[in-house]
A = this chain, B = another copy of it.
């Protein structure tokens, strides 16, 4: 009896050790992923040389959560509060005034324009080194308003396993996100194993200047590039210069990235994270103000994209 129990434990560990995706239920999605990887890494007509194994992942809603707001928006609001003493005029000026009163809804009533104004006011006017420190300090201390977790604890365990699995198969993985490139770079290597040079994102303009004898990259309050929707293939082309063979996203903002990736020659894979788990994470798609998923959901079947249902495909959601 004792021996049989030990044997069972041993066998279970063995099977788990063999399974590169232990947090994924053994569904059609998991099988499709592992079949694809087996196909392109096996000698034969579908073999893809390691140098061309480029995978691109959206970040918000794909690698970490994005509700009730993009986490970078929480960063912006916290920065506004921190910087308020230097900006007495914000007390009277929208959208800053509402943020300072804690009324996020009114602050965001101005839509993208308001968000952009707040992003510029908080992301520019300092050196890249200074900004990196601000982000690093915030990301290691700020907590999510409803879960009370660090934001980096709200990354998806199954996706971490997928990144590791692809890397083990010689994929080079890039983040391609609508989020700020410099907001992600300070922590993506530690959290996802993705180094800064493999992060593509939205950016503001910068200039090089020697200030008091010290060379610096100065962040300017001008938009440089928006890495969303049709901007994603452009960002991919600009940064990577190769067409990926694997793309993962979760919203209509990823449509063009999925389309560009999966319409190339040879074997291709498109993966969509569908947030179907109100209990363990969040449930939203067509009508969400964040991460709206409609067109991608409609076209996925005919385009052969895999849809991950969080609820059904994932054994666990967040790392323990």
Contacts and interface: CB of A to CB of B under 8 A. Distances in A.
Interface of A: 51, 54, 128, 172, 174, 181-182, 185, 189, 195-199, 203, 206-210, 214-215, 217, 230-234, 237-242, 256, 259-260, 263
Interface centre among A182, A198, A234 (most CB of B within 10 A): A234
Given A214-B263, A217-B233, A233-B217, A242 B197 contact: yes
A196 B52 CA distance: 10
Contacts of A239: 197, 239
A123 B144 CA distance: 48
Contact of A238 (B172, B203, B260): B203
A277 to B, nearest CB: 32
B241 A206 contact: no
A208 B181 contact: no
29 contacts: A51-B189, A51-B195, A128-B237, A172-B197, A174-B197, A181-B241, A182-B241, A195-B242, A196-B240, A196-B241, A197-B198, A197-B240, A197-B241, A203-B238, A206-B234, A206-B237, A206-B238, A207-B230, A208-B232, A208-B233, A208-B234, A208-B256, A210-B259, A215-B233, A215-B256, A215-B263, A217-B233, A217-B234, A217-B237
B242 A208 contact: no
Nearest to A257: B208
A208 B51 contact: no
B185 A207 contact: no
Nearest to A230: B208
A48 to B, nearest CB: 14
Given A197-B240, A197-B241, A217-B234, 17 more contacts: A128-B237, A181-B238, A181-B241, A196-B240, A197-B239, A197-B242, A199-B241, A203-B238, A207-B230, A208-B230, A208-B231, A208-B232, A208-B233, A214-B263, A215-B233, A215-B256, A215-B263
